[in-house]
């Protein structure tokens, strides 16, 4: 009887909690799911004559993501320009994730191995860029890598180059900018994992004559793997949908998915295609988050 009474009380408590949180959940649902439903519906409509949509069902928005029709004979072929933008977006996002890990792991290790009283100062320095608007940070990077910027001026003053390196408006410029912008998002999860690391394991490995590379590969990386995965997701997801950095540093000829979506809602005036691209980006991000959840579950105590 006591057990049954406890179950009834627990069920009542759960119902009460749901009722209390129902207003907030409703607002969140309307604010988050409402706009997504509008975009999803627009992706299955026809484009308007000048902008907007016509309320006629059509799959052309999704069709035009990967295919295009010839304007003369109506033959169907691959949308090469669209596929190049997709490939550039995924490639730069993966390279940004890799580059931030290469620079972020030593940085996080350095902070985690400092005396505890100094760690807060180093973490404070890492988070300072977040105090500045993203556009301002992107312009700051532009002042470094442009033809008359700090980098080219220093290399020419040292006599290493005779003329400025053309970095601006290339994929390299976009990669440099996104690495700088998203580096803290890699450092912080890595630091959280390394901070809990038991350094006596490293001492034990050295006592067993393990090399530094073997210690890194067999002990350090497997233990801090959750931080690596979390940091990679935090960098990859916003990099894939980046808009400001590719627009400023890449110019109009180095678009990524975010810039392409903006083009369809602006000059392209093809709202169904822009909506379909937005939903495709959402699906890619959702797949990345789902992969992270699955890996995290396997890493858990009951995985």
* Residues 244 and 115 reside in one and the same domain: yes
Residue 65: half-sphere exposure toward Cβ, Cα within 13 Å:
21
Query: Do the domain assignments include residue 55?
Result: no
Give me the sign of the Cα torsion angle 242, 247, 248, 251. Answer: positive
Query: Do the domain assignments include residue 59?
Result: no
The per-residue pLDDT for 300 is 54
* Residues 130 and 218 reside in one and the same domain: yes
100: closest CA among 238, 248, 283, 195? 238
186 phi-psi bin (left φ>0, alpha ψ -120 to 50, beta other): alpha
Per-residue pLDDT 10s for the chain (303 aa) are 557 777 878 888 888 888 888 888 888 888 888 888 999 999 999 998 888 889 999 999 999 999 888 777 778 888 888 889 999 999 999 999 999 999 999 999 999 988 888 888 998 998 888 888 888 999 999 999 998 889 999 999 888 888 888 899 999 999 999 999 999 999 999 999 998 888 888 888 888 888 888 888 888 888 898 899 889 999 999 999 899 999 999 887 778 999 999 999 988 889 999 999 999 989 888 888 888 777 767 655 544
- 3-state SS, one letter per residue, for the chain: CHHHHHHHHHHHHHHHHHHHHHHHHHHHHHHHHHHHHHHHHHCCEEECCCCCEEEEECCHHHHHHHEEECCCCCCEEECHHHHHHHHHHHHHHHHHHHHHHHHHHHHHHHHHCCCHHHHHHHHHHHHHHHHCCHHHHHHHHHHHHCCCCHHHHHHHHCCCCCCCCCCCCCHHHHHHHHHHHHHHHHHHHHHHHHHCCCCHHHHHHHHCCCCHHHHHHHHHHHHCHHHHHHHHHHHHHHHHCCCHHHHHHHCCCCCCHHHHHHHHHCCCCCHHHHHHHHHHHHHHHHHHHHHHHHHHHHHCCCC
What CATH number is associated with residue 292?
1.10.3720.10
Q: List all residues 6 or more positions away from 135 whose beta carbon is below 8 Å from its beta carbon.
A: 244, 248
Query: Do the domain assignments include residue 61?
Result: no
Measured CA to CA, the distance from residue 135 to residue 131 in angstroms comes to: 12
Domain of 29, in residue numbers = 1-42
* Residues 166 and 30 reside in one and the same domain: no
Query: Do the domain assignments include residue 205?
Result: yes
Q: Give how many domains the chain has, as a whole number.
A: 2
Predicted TM-score (pTM) of the model is 0.84
* Residues 26 and 117 reside in one and the same domain: no
Query: Do the domain assignments include residue 283?
Result: yes
Query: Do the domain assignments include residue 20?
Result: yes
The per-residue pLDDT for 303 is 46
Query: Do the domain assignments include residue 57?
Result: no
């Amino acid at each position: 009887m006591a057990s049954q009474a406890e179950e009834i009380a627990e069920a009542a408590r759960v119902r009460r909690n749901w009722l209390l949180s129902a207003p907030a959940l409703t607002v969140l649902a309307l604010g988050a799911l409402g706009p997504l439903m509008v975009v999803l519906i627009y992706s299955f409509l026809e484009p308007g004559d000048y902008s907007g949509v016509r309320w006629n069902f059509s799959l052309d928005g999704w069709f035009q993501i990967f295919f295009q029709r010839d304007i003369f004979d109506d033959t169907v072929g691959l949308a090469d320009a669209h596929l190049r933008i997709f490939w550039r977006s995924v490639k730069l996002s993966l390279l940004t994730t890799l580059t931030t890990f290469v620079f972020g792991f030593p940085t996080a290790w350095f902070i985690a191995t400092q005396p505890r009283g100094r760690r807060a100062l180093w973490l404070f320095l890492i988070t300072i860029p977040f105090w500045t608007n993203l556009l301002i940070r992107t312009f700051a990077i532009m002042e470094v890598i442009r033809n008359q910027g700090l980098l080219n001026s220093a290399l020419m003053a040292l006599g290493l180059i005779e003329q400025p390196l053309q970095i601006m408006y290339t994929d390299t410029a976009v990669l440099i900018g996104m690495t700088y912008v998203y580096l803290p998002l890699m450092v912080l999860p890595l630091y959280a994992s390394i901070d809990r690391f038991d350094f006596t394991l490293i001492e034990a490995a050295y006592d067993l004559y393990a090399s530094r590379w073997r210690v890194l590969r067999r002990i350090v990386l497997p233990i801090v793997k959750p931080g690596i995965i979390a940091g990679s997701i935090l960098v990859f997801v916003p990099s894939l949908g980046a808009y400001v950095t590719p627009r400023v540093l890449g110019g109009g000829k180095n678009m990524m998915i975010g810039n392409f979506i903006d083009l369809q809602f602006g000059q392209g005036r093809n709202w169904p295609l822009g909506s379909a691209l937005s939903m495709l980006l959402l699906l890619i991000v959702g797949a990345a988050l789902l992969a992270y959840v699955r890996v995290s579950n396997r890493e858990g105590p009951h995985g």
